[in-house]
């Protein structure tokens, strides 16, 4: 059973037992209403649900009774999610008296039954104003992903386009990224924010769609050739690379290529590529700049982006500038130097191997990635020593990755050696490696060590699979 249906079923049972709506349903969570809708249909028996007569206020021949007395908020919520479309439709009008039930009316506006859907839409159009629709925006956009959910989204758009910026501010700060995207699209189309405000939004927001939308809109107004005018500077100083790259690219239009030079050493590959484009447009070759930066291997001010940037625009001969950087005091520079050597397709097992003992995990990860194609050339015994419990975790993980890449008996031997490792992730990885092991062409047929190793991992196999695996290795099973 899906988790959403299970949680919605629990909420439905609470409502059927008389628990107040706000105690049974997390009313501020948009997904909780969809869970409730699914949970009522899938997990609640008909005997616990309101009948059509009950919803419509009828009881036999006694005539119409007061709906407000017949059904409370919780029972109406169940009726709005009923399997029978006639019950759902009948519940819509009395539900409008309860503001907390408006989310379910939004859900019903995307109902598969046309009479239910049309009545819900009519009621929503009559009842919603800017304040109400703002509160419902996350749910409306969530329902809008459904096949019949476009109506509520269009109504949301229609109502909010008439609202001033101060009323739309909650959308721009909403934790739901879909809501922020909708809000920023709206203010961009209506031109409610200045270019400087859009630039600051692009620099501040964590969502890539909002970043691109706001950065593009800010720059579309035109980049000033004089002072930055509050547009470029927020983009250039942004933490996210999309905003920085937009700002760097705009330096070409602003005729400020000298400012782009510093971004040749940016931490983001995207920003570095944009910076190279800008400086080249004004006749500057970025390669000599990178070579000058990397020619002082002990310079503490050397930026890691300058190192990998050398490989991005350089040639294999530039590796001679990179090898000394493997001993740089900054771990990030050492790691980027290894990555740069790999980009240049320059590998020397003898010179990279000592980096597996580097105290910085980032350096070890880069060295491991560079050495993986040559894992078979590393001494297996030397790597096995680095699986010991006294080694740093990143060193042990690197050693296991390389031993696993060796294949054959070496792989099986390493995996079995850490089956009882105290590290949960390494132990699980080793178990998967043993289960996925098959004898390769270089495994000696009938090697007794293979049988011993498989027996040590027999708890990972059924008896039948273990016998089959041994038989493939030339052993009796």
Task: Give DSSP secondary structure letters for 222-260.
Answer: ---SSS-TTTHHHHHT-SSHHHHHHHHHHHHHTT-HHHH
pLDDT on residue 169 = 94
Q: Is the pLDDT score of 9 beyond 90? A: no
Cβ neighbours of 297 (radius 10 Å)? 17
Tally: H helices and E strands in the chain:
31, 0
Q: Is the pLDDT score of 141 beyond 90? A: yes
pLDDT on residue 43 = 75
Q: Are 166 and 133 in contact (CB under 8 A)?
A: no
Q: Is the pLDDT score of 69 beyond 50? A: no
Mean pLDDT across the chain, nearest whole number? Answer: 91
Cα 429 to Cα 287, 368, 390, 423, 457, distances in angstroms: 42, 17, 19, 10, 13
Which carries the bigger pLDDT value, residue 20 or residue 477? Answer: 20
Cα 390 to Cα 383, 396, 399, 421, distances in angstroms: 14, 9, 13, 12
Q: Are 223 and 196 in contact (CB under 8 A)?
A: no
Fold of 380-477: 1.25.10
Q: Are 430 and 421 in contact (CB under 8 A)?
A: yes
Q: Are 386 and 408 in contact (CB under 8 A)?
A: no
Paired strand residues for 64: 58
Cα-based angle 11, 66, 43 (whole degrees, multiple of 5): 20
Q: How far apart are CA 336 and CA 328, in angstroms?
A: 11
pTM of the full structure: 0.82
pLDDT on residue 393 = 95
**330-373 tens-digit pLDDT:** 999 999 999 999 999 998 999 999 999 999 999 999 999 999 99
pLDDT on residue 68 = 44
Instruction: Say whether 58 sits in a helix, a strand or coil.
Output: strand
pLDDT on residue 347 = 87
In 3D space, the residue among 226, 313, 221 whose CA is nearest the CA of residue 265 turns out to be: 313
Domain ranges of the chain: 1-127, 193-284, 380-477
In 3D space, the residue among 455, 456, 447, 454 whose CA is nearest the CA of residue 475 turns out to be: 447
Average pLDDT in the 217-225 region?
77
**381-400 tens-digit pLDDT:** 999 999 998 899 999 999 99
């Amino acid at each position: 059973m899906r988790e959403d249906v299970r949680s919605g079923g629990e909420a439905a049972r609470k409502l059927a037992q008389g628990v107040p709506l706000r105690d049974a349903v997390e009313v501020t969570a948009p997904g909780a209403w969809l869970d409730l809708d699914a949970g009522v249909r899938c997990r609640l028996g008909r005997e616990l649900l309101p009948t059509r007569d009950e919803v419509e206020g009828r009881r036999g021949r006694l005539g119409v009774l007061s709906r407000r007395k017949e059904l409370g908020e919780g029972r109406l919520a169940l009726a709005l999610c009923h399997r029978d479309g006639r019950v759902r439709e009948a519940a819509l009008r009395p539900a409008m008296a309860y503001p907390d039930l408006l989310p379910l009316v939004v859900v019903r506006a995307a109902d598969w039954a046309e009479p239910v859907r049309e009545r819900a839409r009519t009621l929503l159009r009559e009842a919603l104003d800017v304040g109400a629709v703002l509160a419902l925006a996350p749910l409306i956009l969530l329902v809008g992903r459904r096949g019949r959910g476009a109506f509520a989204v269009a109504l949301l758009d229609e109502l909010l386009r008439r609202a001033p910026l101060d009323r739309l501010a909650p959308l721009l700060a909403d934790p739901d990224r879909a809501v922020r995207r909708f809000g920023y699209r709206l203010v961009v189309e209506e031109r409610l924010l200045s270019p400087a405000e859009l630039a600051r939004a692009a620099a501040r927001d964590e969502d890539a769609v909002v970043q691109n939308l706001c950065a593009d809109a800010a720059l579309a107004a035109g980049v000033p050739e004089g002072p930055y005018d509050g547009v470029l500077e927020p983009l250039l100083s942004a933490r996210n690379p999309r905003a920085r790259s937009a700002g760097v690219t705009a330096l070409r239009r602003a005729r400020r290529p000298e400012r782009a030079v510093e971004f040749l050493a940016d931490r983001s590959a995207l920003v570095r590529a944009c910076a190279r484009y800008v400086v080249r447009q004004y006749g500057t070759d970025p390669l000599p700049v990178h070579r000058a930066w990397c020619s002082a291997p002990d310079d503490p001010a050397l930026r890691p982006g300058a190192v990998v940037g050398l490989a991005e625009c350089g040639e294999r001969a530039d590796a001679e500038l990179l090898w000394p950087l493997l001993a740089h005091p900054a771990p990030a520079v050492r790691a980027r130097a290894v990555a740069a050597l790999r980009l240049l397709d320059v590998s020397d097992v003898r010179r990279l191997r000592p980096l597996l003992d580097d105290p910085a995990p980032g350096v070890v990860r880069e060295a491991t990635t560079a050495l993986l194609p040559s894992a078979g050339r590393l001494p297996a015994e030397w790597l096995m020593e680095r699986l010991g419990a006294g080694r740093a975790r990143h060193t042990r993980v690197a050693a296991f990755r390389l031993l696993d890449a060796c294949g054959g008996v070496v792989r099986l031997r390493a995996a079995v050696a850490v089956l009882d490792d105290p590290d949960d992730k390494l132990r699980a990885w080793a178990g998967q490696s043993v289960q996925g092991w098959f004898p390769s062409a270089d495994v000696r047929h009938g090697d007794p060590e293979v049988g011993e190793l498989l027996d040590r991992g027999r708890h990972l196999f059924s008896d039948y699979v273990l016998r089959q695996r041994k038989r493939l290795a030339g052993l009796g099973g």
